[in-house]
Structure 1
Amino acid sequence: MSSGFPWLTALIVLPLLGAAAVWALPATRRRLVRPVALGFSLAEVALAVGAVLSFDTAQAGVHQLVETHSWIPALGVSYAVGVDGVGLLLILLSVVLVPLVLLAAWNEQGSTKEVVSGQLRHYMALILLTQVFMVAVFAARDVFLFYVLFEAMLIPVYFLIGQFGGVRRRYAAVKFLLFSLAGGLVMLVGVIALYLEGPGGPQGFLTENLAGLDLPVGVERWLFVAFFLAFAIKAPMFPVHTWLPDAAEQAPAGTSVLLVGVLDKVGTFGMLTLCLPLFPNASTWAAPVIIVLAVISILYGALLAIAQQDLMRLIAYTSVSHFGFIVLGIFAFTSLSVAGSSFYMVNHGLSTGALFLIAGYLISRRGSRKIADFGGLQKVVPVLAGSFLVAGLSALSLPGLSTFVSEFMVLIGTFARDRPAAVVSAFAVVLAALYILLTYQRIFTGPVRDGLETMPDLNAHERWAVGPLIALMLVVGFYPAPALEFVNEPAQITLDQVGMQDVPSTVLVDDSAATEGSDK
């Protein structure tokens, strides 16, 4: 379903223009870096609102705002973009997070000398460039275009980690790049093989032209494995997750927000929108093994989070656990679990994004990532402490906060299909309470540690960065219905694509009534 205005192309081009404008600022105008970058990101928010208003939620399972133009006709490659409800929600997530990350960077990268030298200019331009790829990859409807964006987004993130990160930033950046490139290389083989098996022609890479192919069983399974491995690394899932803790530990807090809050969703989004519709039989064939790996990820990530002494690594391992829930819901193949996973991708971005930002504020004030170096801060920085508590309670799925709805949907939907997996995964709720509440206790309660008595609370810029995320967690937690309109129909269409149906409800019939009915 096309629209008169090219909303998605505009959303892709605008941050690209913003990055170019920031880089082009002359040395005498470098003090305009912050307002120019923030201005472009807020204009992107306004543009995204227009796209949402042009989207028909009654047909959320259909690609809308569609644009298709021939790109490389000799190879069958098109510039084809369009979004269903899930893709639009993830674009909205990235559009909302970027200005908040830029606000956080106001002081994160922030002395006047650094602004003049251009360090902040490069950082903010790279953030805007990252936004280009985030929006584009969630809108891509051409498999080759998706692959190009999937790989290209590594470039700005590599520099964000390697240039602006911590002491071991180069090691973390190279490890992130090597893992991602390895997955991308395997995926490239799958992309080529899929095209050769497909209908060919000038639009041979369009997802709608590749869905429903009658592939040989062995070919379909190998192609599924090629795509799934790349997405599992990106997600990240156990056992190909090991790049994430190092990247999150060494990256600037704002970079971690985008890396874990948005970019890693490309993995689970790819599973949902490419693996399932392109390889439906292979998806159901692999589902039992993937569910086991998802459950392992859920428990493994939660247990390792409890054991962490580094605050950033702790948040990274909680994400391994949360991504396990998302993958579990996708491959449980019920409309409730798939819708819950789609919704979980957004809610995880809100809670984890807030946790990374708040952790960054704590670390910049203390000069240490070690949890043991904090203590008693609830009395010193009450706003910061309260913000951490709300974000943490959302991460552990407290009722009334956004993540609860999506996690509950995943567990209930999975229980209908695979009761053991749902029951075992539910133990992670208890583990989440442990790693969040114990961390809060160690950092914010008890006597104030020496040297922390004068720690400043959140300033105006920092409150504007964290405040909208806290507000969204509360609003979506109490009234999730508008957001669910974007994910319910796509979930049902996903089930139809893989040939699955919801498990019928079990109705308990009174024995006497049943006997009476049989006598009649």
Structure 2
Amino acid sequence: QFFLFWELELLPMFFLISQWGSGRRLYSATKFLLYTLAGSALMLVGFLVIGFGAHTFDIEALTKAPPQETVVPMAIVFWAIMLAFLVKLPVFPLHTWLPDAHTDAPTAVSVMLAGVLLKMGGYGILRIVLPLMPNEVHDFSKVLATIAGFSVIWVAIITLRQTDLKRLVAYSSVSHMGYVLLGVSALGPVGLSGAALQMFTHGCITGLLFVMVGMIYDRTHTREISQLRGLMHHMPLIGTVFIVAGLASLGLPAMSGFVAEITVFLGSIGPHPAATMAAVFGVVLSAGYILWTIERILHGPKTHDFHDLTDARKWWELTAMGILVVAIIGVGIWPAVLTDTVRMGIEPIAKIVEAAP
């Protein structure tokens, strides 16, 4: 059932991008489909090996008695399933489908990609990989942490080079999903809770950034950062909310991004100090490209290239911004509203992983 519904989301997303997108929409949609199908093929093979080896596909039964002996070594099964989830997460070097999909997708679809679709990868790791293969997770935790740290740093450096505003947000999304994998690799309740928190906050923050980019594009008809100047003079509300989303993305205290990232760091610093320090440096790089982008597009002299630009006034624009801003600041000020719920779901998984020899 998990695999069936995992596959069912592919076709709607393919058509949403290919039919209602822009630019190279068919190329981007096809690339998304091929990447995900390749990962799904590996996942299906892994599931079949586990199911036939344990004589059941029931997740609860497999969690209570994880398969030990299969026709294929469990290490290979682990990576077959893990790669499928890493494609969807995504992390370097399996991320190249995402910037194209985000860039050519409509704003609403980009929000859906950031807020829902990417989280399927993290959910699959927490719900399937950790409970069913705790021994293999322990064996390869340092490899996962290394991938996470490198993904955060490398993709953040790539983000610094972007000239398209939407593509910049897309690459920053990939960089920040590396924190999810870092939290998972810690294998403790704190790190796993941080990973779950990061999935929620990433969806809110990156979703809000895509909403703001969409509003800016609708009014200026360009996403080229070099052509956007002094927008704060024309659209103060849109500019202010963009700043809030940007500061939340770089982990400013009193915002949800800070809560998630500090929880991940606290959980991972013990088992993986080098990867954690790399991820912390990733926060510095995030501050670099976010603050630089804010300075370039919002501040500076008022440009005469844009005429009659209107601020956010439509009810759906105000509603979308309001809900996401309240969620970001609300969780940042009162994290217990989310952490208590996350803890209830994470603790059973953490106990299974910690009990593994």
Unaligned stretches of 5+ in structure 1? 1-144, 502-520
| Structure 1 residues 22-101: aligned runs within 5 Å | none
Q: Name the residue aligned to 1:236.
A: 90
CA distance in 1: counterparts of 2:32 and 2:67, whole angstroms: 36
**Within 5 A, what are the aligned runs for 1:351-430?**
351-430=205-284
How many pairs were matched up?
353
Q: Which residue is equivalent to 1:216?
A: 69
Distance apart, 1:313 and its partner CA: 1.0
Structure 1 counterpart of 2:320, which letter? A
- For the pair 1:153 / 2:153, whether they are aligned, the reply is no
SS of 1:176 mapped into structure 2: helix
Distance in 2 (CA, whole Å) between partners of 1:449 and 1:227 is 51
1:170 aligns with 2:22: no
From 252, 273, 276, give the equivalent of 2:127: 273
Alignment of 1:343-354 (within 5 A): 343-354=197-208
SS at match of 1:294: helix
The 3 A distance-change label for structure 1 pair 320 and 176 is: same
| Runs of 5+ unmatched residues, structure 2 | none
Query: Do residues 482 (structure 1) and 337 (structure 2) align?
Result: yes
- Kindly state the Cα deviation for residue 149 of structure 1 after the two structures are TM-superposed: 0.9
* Corresponding residue for residue 195 of structure 1: 51
Contact 1:235–1:266 at 8 Å: present in 2 too? Answer: yes
Higher relative contact order (CA 8 A, sep 6+): 2
- Give, as a single letter, the amino acid of the residue that structure 2 aligns with 1:187: M
Matched AA of 1:161? I
Paired position in structure 2 for 1:342 = 196
Query: Residue 473 of structure 1 corresponds to which residue in structure 2?
Result: 328
Preserved CA contact (<8 Å) 1:302 1:321? yes
* Residue 38 (structure 2) pairs with residue 186 (structure 1): no
Q: Tell me, in whole angstroms, the C-alpha distance in 2 between the residues paired with 1:227 and 1:450.
A: 53
| Counterpart mapping for 1:216-365 below 5 A | 216=69, 219-365=73-219
Aligned-partner Cα distance in 2 for 1:315–1:359: 9
1:486 is paired with a residue of what secondary structure? helix
CA deviation after TM superposition for structure 1 residue 166, in Å: 0.9
The separation in 1 between residues aligned to 2:238 and 2:25, in whole angstroms, is: 27
- 1:221 and 1:282 in contact (8 A); partners too: yes
Give the superposition deviation at 1:495.
2.4
What's 2:312 paired with?
A: 458
> What TM-score, normalized by structure 2, do the two folds share?
0.96
What TM-score results when the alignment is normalised by the length of structure 1?
Answer: 0.66
Structure 2 Cα separation of the partners of residues 467 and 437 of structure 1: 22
Q: Which has the larger displacement, 445-454 or 278-287?
A: 445-454
The Cα shift of 1:500 comes to 5.5
Per-residue deviation, residues 164-214 of structure 1 (Å, max 9, x unmatched) = 11121000000000000110111111111111011x3xxx32211112324
Q: How far off its partner does 1:453 sit?
A: 4.1
User: How far, CA to CA, are the matches of 2:261 and 2:354 in structure 1?
Assistant: 24
The structure 1 residue matched to 2:288, chosen from 431, 434, 457, is 434
Q: 1: distance between equivalents of 2:120 and 2:104?
A: 21
1:465 alignment partner AA: A
Given residue 495 of structure 1, which amino acid in structure 2 is its aligned partner?
Answer: A
Partner of 2:302: 448
Deviations 1:220-240 (A, max 9, x none): 212111110100000011111
For 1:378, give the aligned amino acid. M
Measured in 1, the distance between the counterparts of 2:355 and 2:336 equals 25
Question: Which residue identity lines up with residue 58 of structure 2 in the other structure?
Answer: L
- Write out per-residue CA displacement over residues 332-388 of structure 1, whole angstroms, 9 at most, x where no aligned residue: 112111101111110110000000011011112111121111100111100000010
Distance in structure 2 (CA, Å) of the matches to 1:419 and 1:183: 30
Q: Is the 8 A contact 1:337 1:413 kept in 2?
A: yes
Q: CA deviation at 1:305?
A: 1.2
Letter in 2 for 1:215: Q
User: How far apart, CA to CA, are the structure 2 residues paired with 1:300 and 1:409?
Assistant: 22
What is the rounded CA distance, in whole Å, between the counterparts of 2:200 and 2:106 in structure 1?
21
CA distance in 2, matches of 1:174, 1:364: 26
Say whether the 8 Å CA contact 2:256–2:331 is kept in structure 1.
Answer: yes
1: CA distance, partners of 2:344 / 2:355: 15
Which residue of 339, 351, 356 corresponds with 1:496? 351
Q: Give the letter for the 1:206 counterpart.
A: D
Q: CA RMSD in A?
A: 1.4
CA distance in 2, matches of 1:192, 1:467: 45
Q: Contact 1:333–1:500 at 8 Å: present in 2 too? A: no
